[in-house]
Amino acid sequence: MEKVLAPIALYSETGITMMSADGIWRCCHPIFAVFIGDYPKQVPVTCTYNGHCPKCEVSWDQLSKYKDFPPCIHSDATKIYHLADNNIHHFNAACREAGLKPVYHPFWLSLPFADVYQSITPDILHQLLQGIVRHLVTWLSSPTVFGSNIIDAQCRILPLNHSVAVFPKGIAMLSCVSGKEHKNMCHILLGLIISLPLSGGQVPSCVIKAVRAILDFVYLAQLPTHTTDTLCHLQESLKLFHSNKAVFIDLGT
């Protein structure tokens, strides 16, 4: 990657003349601005450890908390990785204290105006669809909530239609589910549970609120662009989910 991006390091500050789409020549400054990749690829690029956030300083055991954590500072990371040219023991100790992998000169180290932590884009597939939605289906299928048999029975009685995919064999026991299938589950998930009673005759209002909130978050997060309003709605959905998520713990999921 360092060799591939070597021209960027050369022209980021000096600039290079390039023709734009309208045919006009302009002085452009190419920089490393965005890294598009799933979470397993974000981890080695940011030199963090698997299970840790590639953008902020939240610890692995605090990922479920509704708190704000400070973002990772690119300049602090570059200072640490420059230590690799001197005492290797000090370098390893600094990496260990900062929670970084001791990588010798990451490819972004010498790129001007780069911020590897700001460049990471959301991973909708692994973090939301195959992450949150998969866990949500598991929670709802727990015997202490609705149970897999009830969830699958609800799937089988859905009528055929032209706009929503159906799962005639149910969704509770599916494995190796694709991102498209998870999206199709999101279309029907709230409808499957809206009229179901919890075990013991408990009122399922908190479960429904939590499911609705996290589905709202998943849909809003997939918008191609965001405004102040959509970001506020994202925050409200996340807050609503965390306000009601304790119901899954109380039910023993």
Q: What is the pLDDT of residues 182-225, one digit of tens each?
A: 999 999 999 999 888 887 677 789 999 999 999 999 999 999 99
Residue 226: per-residue pLDDT: 93
3-state DSSP assignment of residue 226: coil
> Residue 124: CB partners within 8 Å, gap ≥ 6?
179, 221, 222
Element (H, E) at 28: strand 25-28
Residue 10: per-residue pLDDT: 86
Token representation of residue 89: 């023991």
Distance CA 229, CA 245 (A): 24
The torsion of the CA quartet 45, 47, 50, 52, rounded to 10 degrees, works out to: -110
List the pLDDT tens digit at each of the 253 positions of the chain.
888 888 888 899 899 999 988 999 999 999 999 999 888 899 999 999 988 899 999 988 898 889 999 999 999 999 999 999 989 999 999 999 999 999 999 999 989 999 999 999 988 888 899 888 999 999 999 988 999 999 999 999 888 877 888 898 899 888 888 889 999 999 999 999 988 888 767 778 999 999 999 999 999 999 999 999 999 999 999 999 999 998 888 776 6
Residue 158: per-residue pLDDT: 86
Residue 39: per-residue pLDDT: 87
- Under DSSP, the state recorded for 26 is E
pTM: 0.82
Half-sphere exposure of 163 (CA within 13 A, CB side): 2
Q: Which residues of 193-211 are buried (b: 16+ CB within 10 A; e: fewer)?
A: beebebeeeeebebbbbbb
Residue 20: per-residue pLDDT: 87
CB 196 within 8 A of CB 151: no
CA dist 249 → 43, 132, 139, 176, 239 (Å): 30, 16, 10, 26, 17
Alpha carbon 101 to chain centroid, angstroms: 21
CA dist 166 → 19, 53, 184 (Å): 49, 35, 8
Distance CA 106, CA 119 (A): 15
